[in-house]
């Protein structure tokens, strides 16, 4: 898969608008502002393919990116941003639940968690949802550049104990700033796309 051959495809604000699923989908999920769009840009070697913002709640739609006509990257809207209205939260839930309820090629969900902090209640709810629905997933622990070496080690120990309870989910420390973890995550995704396409 040539990740340099990628393009933004479309944004969808309601589940009913979503196009039929024809290729394996790599889904980026996490709370608002955790770094979903930054991860997509770093993986695809692009500065601003996915919109990044310091203001939480920037991505309020499901955004599709084509990768080499082999796979789709799907940027989900972030959850858990306190300042959005009730109706906006309901729209989020309808959109994301509608996406996962569809008959789609769920290849890998990349669940993103801020490496500096314990997972939020919403993060744990999402992990439970993924396990319960038997969706294949990995975890990316982002913003690792904001921790020093000993803090990183402490958090890695904490997360490895935690994910032992979640089917020993594979997890990858990552920095959008420095690129740590990028190659390992890409390798995992490429292999998952190959396996999915061959199955
Ligand atoms: N230091 C550092 N900052 C990061 C990293 N990843 C993201 N950020 C910053 O975090 C902020 C949010 O990043 P986004 O990629 O827009 O986050 P998002 O999850 O897509 O946010 P929403 O679309 O609002 O849900 C931006 O200011 C990024 O520059 C990282 O690995 N390290
Ligand atoms: Mg975003």
Nearest CA to ligand 1 atom 23: 59
Mean pLDDT, residues 98-112: 97
What is the structure's pLDDT at 59? Answer: 63
Q: How far is the CA of 54 from the centre of ligand 2 (A)?
A: 10
- Higher pLDDT: 40 or 92? It is 40
Mutate to test the pocket of ligand 1, among 111, 117, 176, 180 (most ligand atoms within 8 A of CB): 176
How is the chain split among helix, strand and coil, in percent rounded to 5?
Answer: 40, 20, 40
The answer, yes or no, to whether residue 83 has pLDDT greater than 80, is: no
User: In angstroms, what is the span from residue 52 Cα to ligand 1's centroid?
Assistant: 6
CA distance 113 to 30: 6
Q: What is the tens place of the pLDDT at every residue in 136-183?
A: 999 999 999 999 999 999 999 999 999 999 999 999 999 999 999 999
Burial class from Cβ neighbours inside 10 Å (0-12, 13-18, 19+) for residue 141 reads: buried
Cα 146 to middle of ligand 2, angstroms: 19
Domains of the chain, earliest start first: 6-198 (3.40.50.300)
**pLDDT given for residue 92 in this prediction:** 84
Whether ligand 1 lies within 6 angstroms of the CB of 63 is answered as no
Q: For ligand 1, what atom is nearest to the CA of residue 112?
A: 19
Determine the pLDDT at residue 50: 84
Q: Kindly report, residue by residue over 10-63, the tens digit of the pLDDT.
A: 999 899 999 999 999 999 999 989 999 999 999 999 988 888 777 766 668 899
| Residue 39 Rama label (left phi>0; alpha psi -120 to 50; beta) | alpha
The pTM of the full predicted model, rounded to 2 decimals, is 0.95
pLDDT at 89: 82
In this structure, how many other beta carbons lie within 10 angstroms of the beta carbon of residue 73?
A: 25
pLDDT score, position 12: 93
* Ligand number, closest to the Cα atom of 79: 1
Ligand 1: residue whose CA is nearest its atom 3: 143
């Amino acid at each position: 898969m040539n990740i340099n051959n990628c393009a933004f495809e479309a944004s969808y604000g309601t589940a009913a608008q979503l196009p039929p699923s024809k290729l394996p989908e790599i889904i980026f999920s996490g709370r608002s502002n955790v770094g979903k769009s930054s991860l997509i840009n770093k993986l695809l070697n692009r500065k601003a393919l996915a919109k990044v913002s310091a203001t939480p709640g920037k991505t309020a739609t499901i955004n599709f990116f084509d990768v080499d006509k082999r796979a789709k990257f799907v940027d989900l809207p972030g959850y858990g941003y306190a300042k959005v209205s009730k109706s906006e939260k309901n729209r989020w839930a309808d959109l994301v639940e509608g996406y996962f309820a569809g008959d789609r090629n769920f290849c890998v969900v990349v669940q993103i968690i801020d490496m500096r902090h314990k997972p939020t209640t919403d993060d744990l709810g999402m992990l439970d949802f993924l396990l319960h629905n038997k969706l294949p997933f990995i975890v990316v622990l982002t913003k690792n550049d904001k921790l020093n070496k000993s803090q990183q080690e402490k958090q890695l120990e904490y997360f490895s104990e935690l994910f032992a309870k979640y089917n020993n989910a594979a997890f990858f420390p990552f920095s959008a700033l420095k690129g740590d973890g990028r190659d390992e995550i890409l390798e995992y995704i490429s292999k998952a796309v190959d396996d999915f396409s061959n199955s």
